[in-house]
Each structure stands twice: as C-alpha cells, then as structure tokens.
Structure 1
C-alpha cells in the first residue's frame, strides 16, 4: 500500500498543492510532539506542533542545537555541515551566534528600517502604476516579488540593474526540489557560487569605497576582536538575500490569495484602510513563509510527553503552531482580518518569525514592506479575481507560490 504523503512533513509533495491544513490539524490532535518517519531520507524525526513545546525548544539552544546538523530541515553530508553551513548565522549556537547577530542587528534597527519607508512607498506606487491599468497581471513576479527584492538588494548595496539576476539566483537556490524552478541540486549550488562571487566583489568595493548598509556593517564588524572572514560574509550575504526576498514575496502572494478567497474581508479593508496594518498579523499567521526549521537534541530529555534522545532530529513546524486551536481558538483554521480586534496581542502569539535566540532579525523590515504593499494594493487592484490555477512551490521549507495570474477592474 502506498504511503500517504501527509504522513511525512518532510516530503515536498506534501505541499505541492498548497498547505495541507486539515492534515496538519490531524497531526496536532495526536499531541504537541509527534514521532514521524521520513522514508525519503531514512531519518526519523519529532514534529513539534504545540506552541509551548516549540517555544521551549527555541529558547534552549544548549538542549536543542542549530549548529550540530544545521537549522534547515533537510539532510546534508556532515562535511558540508562542518565546512559550509557553519558560516551562516542561522546555523550557529551560543556564544558565537549572539556575537555575530549583534553585528547584523545594527543594520536592522527599527529606526534604521523606518528611514526607508518613503522610498518603499514610492517604489510600491511605481509597482502598482505598472499594472493597474492593464486589468490583469502575473501577481507573483510583477507585484509581490518587486519591493522585497529591491529593498534587500538596496540594503546590501547591490545596484538595481542586477535585481533580475538575483531573482533568478534565489529561485534556483531555494527551489531545487521543484522541477519547474530548478533543474537539479547542482543548479542550486552553481547559483550559490554566483552569489558568493558577487558578494566577494562587493567586499572588495567596500574596502575602496566604504558603504553604510548591511554589507558595510558585516564587513566592519568583528567577533572576539577578529573581523568576519570573507567566507563568513559571503554565506551571510546569501542568507540575508534569500531570507529578505523570498519570505516577504511569499507572504504578499498568499495574502493576496487569501483576500481574493474572502472578498467580504477584502472589502472591509477597502472601506477601513486604517485596519490594514492590523490585518498583516493575520496574513502572517495564516501562511508562514518558512514552514519549518530543525534542531538536534544534545541530550536525553522529555518534551511534550515524549522521550527524546540525544542526536534526535527535531522539526519545528511553525505553520502547524500558527493554526493551534489552543492558542487561537476554535476558528484557528479560519482566515479573519479582524482577528486582532478580538486578540489585541495576536502579533505576540505568532511564530511566523520564530522565537527565542533565532527570532527573525528582519521582522521589522518585513512588516514595513507588507504594510506598504497592501496599503497600495488594496485600494488600487479592485475586485481582483484568480485567472486559472495557482502554481504552488514544491517545497517543505518555503511556503511559496510560483505563479498566480489575476484580473481586476481597471482604475477610472
């Protein structure tokens, strides 16, 4: 008998037709921590789908390591873990993690991010200007992808004329599981190499003409009195690029999908634009950009009533936790842009950006981009309708939409 793909949360086919909401609910009902098999890799894992348990794992890096087998849910050869993935901040444990994070954090302060708001607004208007009179567009690449990519490239010091190349590189790196997005794993490695070469060129430029941006902050920072190596910088450059681009594009795309599926709620925001900012929390809750991350247990312990052994694989399923009835009520699986009116602390209950040591350092940037984009999209793309089927990304890591063609009433 063929095994149901929903029995494995680490099978990309599980998400190829969109998020399996009901299947995730069925798993939650089995308990906050569920033992699962992965026939694709032969490595079993514990799926953490309870918020309290996810928070405990996230806040105790000494018990649940990001460095031992990386924070990514996929399997890598140990030499790749030790010599490549160790250079990215997401795969670091304390104390090195806090030291490197402190450098990156300086480039993402709320004050610094807010200074970009006027430029973001102007660019968002240009994005909508380019499609609004046509009455149709391919929403993902023409609308959702534009501002996140331009914003993160600007913060990294990449000229705007190179943005299409980076769009292609990040797609290839992130979606090597998807035959429509990349031909092979090797293509992803080649694209990563191209990004590294570009990053090293930027580093050389910074030495000649210092930049005041994320690239400059990283290259000028030091850990224990030593500057960050160019190799560390290059891999962190890739992580920031992908994290700042793909994630926000994904949330904008799913947010538009949800509003089209709930036209009454879209109309509410048309009539009450002052509530768009609050609605962003529900959009973030309902479809997280990164589906799940990994930790590796460092000792034997009990978690959620289950006996965990040292070196066990732990999967933090943010999407399942964000739909928890115990946290968000009996209607947790319903999309409701007015949820924050009933739950004033909704934003604090989300795990879309993680929690603890590895809470997303770019969360303020993402929220600003989302608010700006939806404040421009909602009043201008009137009565939007889906044209054809949505093409979802075949990935158990990024909850992406590859293609979503829509039509709408042209402005008068």
Structure 2
C-alpha cells in the first residue's frame, strides 16, 4: 500500500487516511515514513500512549511538538509555549495555569454554557452553516467568558485562530507568515488584557493567573501571552471541530442520532465518542532523546517521531468495533485529548462539558436537523476540521 500520512490535499478531500492507518497498525505500527525529513509514524494505541507518557524519551522541546520544520529563531520563541516544553519546566508552568481549570471552576460554567447554547439555537433556523453559526461561536463565547473579554471580541479570536491553524489552507492564510502575524496580534491582545486586569482586578481566569500562587510564583509576561495564544487556538479549534465533526458523524449514522433524540442523557457518553471518532487533533510530533526501541524498530537519538491519535482511537485491540460510531460506548479510553503524561489536555473537562450540553440541547430542541449540502474540510494534516457543514433546522 502507498503510504502518505501528511498530504494536506488528501485531508482536505477525505479527512484522515483511515485505510492507510489501519494497514499500518496491522503491518507496520512504527513505520519509517519518507519525507524531508523522514519520520517514524506511530499508529497503535499502546505505542502512542508510551510516547506520550515518556517525555524524557520523546521530547516536545528539542524540535517542538508541531509537525512542520521551523527556523531556529522561530523554534526558540515557540519553546516558551507550554505545548513545546518538557518537565520540569512544563510542570512548573502547568501548575501555575492549572489554577484556572479546576473542576470547581469549570463546573461553575455549566449554566452559562447552557445559556450560550440556547442563545445560539434560538438564532438559527432554516438552512445555515453549522460550523460558523453553531460549532464555532460556542467555544469562542466560552473563551471570552474565561478571559473576561468582551463577547464582541469573539470575531477577532475566530479570525486569529483560523489564520494560525489554517496557514496551509488558502481560505484562511496562504502563507505561514500570515499565521505568524496572527500570533503577534494575539500577543498584543494578551498584553492589553493583562494591563487591564493589573489595573482593575476581576473575578476571572486572567486576574487569577496574573496573581502569585501560594509559593509567590507568577507567570512572566511572555509566558502569559503564550498561554492566551494556546487558549485561543486549543480552546477554540478542538471544541469547534469536535462539534462540527460530531454533527457530521450523526448525519452519517442516523441510527445514533435517533438514539440521542430518544434519550438526550446519552449526550454524556456521546461527547467522549465524538472526540474518539473525530480526533480533532490528528497528530503531534516528538523527538527521540536517545537510541531506543519502539514497536520493534530501532529509533535513533534526534529522530523525528509522530504520533497519530486518529489511528490510535480506532485501534481494535483497545476499542471493540473501533470503526463503529457508538454514542453509548462505555468504557471509552480514547486519547482524543492526548495519551496522558505531561501534555494531557488541560481543558478536557471544559471541552466535554461544552459538547455534552450542545448535543443534549440540539437533540431536545432540533430533533429533525438534517444535512443540506456537502461538508468542506480544512486543508490540514494537524487539525481534523470542517470549514463548512450546511444544515437545515426547523
């Protein structure tokens, strides 16, 4: 079988190459993938978890966690971001940021998220684009709430996120430089936000993160700016694409939609199944720190290693009928939020809460929603995203 797991045009046409990934899991689970540079493609669940949980062997810091190769000056800047750090520095930073994502803090948002969903669903009728009218606004409203930012800023956040994530998609930014420009705009926005909160503290995550912790430690200015950048992208893109990909999954599996309509309480397990099925983040990169063996392959120090969550989440050695969309699946040990370890998604509880409430309310209020046009996919091998999903409501 011809193997090409990174062709962006392929993803834009059909999404993740599940047939290739299934073949690799069965025949070459740690596979040398040609490229410039070549890399090890890790496709089985257990191997992806192993890489994820051993930062000392598979570094996010050496050459970053993103797939593309960057210039040294860009790498130096990106290393300041938590996503691209290893313990112990990552552990210190995460402990500071965790203060804003405690279960109590997230749980307090439930009614607010329900109100947001109801408000969004009040406004949609007839033929609409599910992505821009429902899936995208939900996490943007929530991010504005977390940051204590005006709701009217959501369009700026949407634009910045699209330009950074969609740098290889001509609809958003046809050059990486435009994506970098968006990042600089987010830095400036974060600086302005921090200055406002230092002058006028409020009961929000920004104020909390700018205050010293119990040990007197605080986030430095560039650390705070990069955290806001990460929140704008990760907190928006993953939930948006899980929601839109989940809606498409229901259209493709109408029996599962009928189950949810008959019992909206299934939204709790449906949220996890949507994340498993869609795998909004397709891959992350690590760099081997030593000569080692993984999946029977000899990996050298400094080799590029890429884990594929979209593959691991359909590994039939872990998931019975892994190629079946089942909203009642339980247990569901998916790794759509990462394979554990240092980089397990900070906002996983928030994302699942948003998805649960959204699909619960959709099933209750719009049981007859149906697809009215072909979806358009994002040209990205990193994010499994939809740019457009026409639906009819009412």
TM-score with structure 2 length normalisation?
0.96
Runs of 4+ residues over 6 Å off in structure 1: none
- Would you say the 8 A contact 2:265–2:360 is kept in 1? no
- Would you say the 8 A contact 1:384–1:406 is kept in 2? yes
Return the alpha-carbon distance in structure 2 between the equivalents of residues 218 and 191 of structure 1: 23
Give the structure 2 partner of residue 404 of structure 1. 389
- Would you say the 8 A contact 1:66–1:90 is kept in 2? yes
Query: Does 2:1 match 1:13?
Result: no
Give matches, 1:38-77, under 5 Å.
38=35, 42-77=36-71
Give matches, 1:244-283, under 5 Å.
244-283=235-274
Distance apart, 1:334 and its partner CA? 1.7
Return the alpha-carbon distance in structure 2 between the equivalents of residues 81 and 357 of structure 1: 20
* 1:226-263 Cα distance to aligned partner (Å, 9 max, x none): 53221121111101111001110000001100111111
Give the structure 2 partner of residue 33 of structure 1. 30
Return the alpha-carbon distance in structure 1 between the equivalents of residues 187 and 166 of structure 2: 18
Give the structure 2 partner of residue 198 of structure 1. 189
- Would you say the 8 A contact 2:281–2:336 is kept in 1? yes
Give the structure 2 partner of residue 123 of structure 1. 116
Return the alpha-carbon distance in structure 1 between the equivalents of residues 203 and 93 of structure 2: 18
- Would you say the 8 A contact 1:11–1:396 is kept in 2? yes
Give the structure 2 partner of residue 337 of structure 1. 327
Return the alpha-carbon distance in structure 2 between the equivalents of residues 363 and 352 of structure 1: 9
Query: Does 2:336 match 1:352?
Result: yes
Structure 1 unaligned segments of length 5 or more: list them: none
Query: Does 2:297 match 1:297?
Result: no
> Aligned with 1:9: secondary structure?
coil
Structure 2 counterpart of 1:104, from 89, 97, 105: 97
Give the structure 2 partner of residue 374 of structure 1. 359
Query: Does 2:129 match 1:135?
Result: no
Distance apart, 1:19 and its partner CA? 2.4
- Would you say the 8 A contact 1:103–1:217 is kept in 2? no
Return the alpha-carbon distance in structure 2 between the equivalents of residues 181 and 26 of structure 1: 33
Distance apart, 1:215 and its partner CA? 1.9
Distance apart, 1:357 and its partner CA? 1.0
TM-score with structure 1 length normalisation?
0.92
- Would you say the 8 A contact 2:99–2:209 is kept in 1? no
- Would you say the 8 A contact 2:5–2:17 is kept in 1? no
Distance apart, 1:197 and its partner CA? 0.6
Give matches, 1:320-335, under 5 Å.
320-329=311-320, 331-335=321-325
Return the alpha-carbon distance in structure 1 between the equivalents of residues 303 and 373 of structure 2: 43
Distance apart, 1:192 and its partner CA? 1.0
- Would you say the 8 A contact 1:138–1:403 is kept in 2? yes
Structure 2 counterpart of 1:394, from 376, 379, 385: 379
Deviation larger for 213-222 or 142-151: 213-222
Query: Does 2:143 match 1:152?
Result: yes
Structure 2 counterpart of 1:175, from 158, 166, 179: 166
- Would you say the 8 A contact 1:87–1:236 is kept in 2? no
Return the alpha-carbon distance in structure 2 between the equivalents of residues 175 and 29 of structure 1: 32
Return the alpha-carbon distance in structure 2 between the equivalents of residues 369 and 256 of structure 1: 14
* 1:49-85 Cα distance to aligned partner (Å, 9 max, x none): 1111111111111111110011111111122112x10
Structure 2 unaligned segments of length 5 or more: list them: none
* 1:98-157 Cα distance to aligned partner (Å, 9 max, x none): 1100011111111110001111101110100101xx222110010111111110121022
- Give the total of aligned pairs: 392
Return the alpha-carbon distance in structure 2 between the equivalents of residues 202 and 243 of structure 1: 19
Distance apart, 1:162 and its partner CA? 1.1
- Would you say the 8 A contact 2:58–2:286 is kept in 1? yes
Distance apart, 1:225 and its partner CA? 5.7
Return the alpha-carbon distance in structure 1 between the equivalents of residues 32 and 208 of structure 2: 42
- Would you say the 8 A contact 2:59–2:286 is kept in 1? yes
Return the alpha-carbon distance in structure 2 between the equivalents of residues 221 and 289 of structure 1: 34
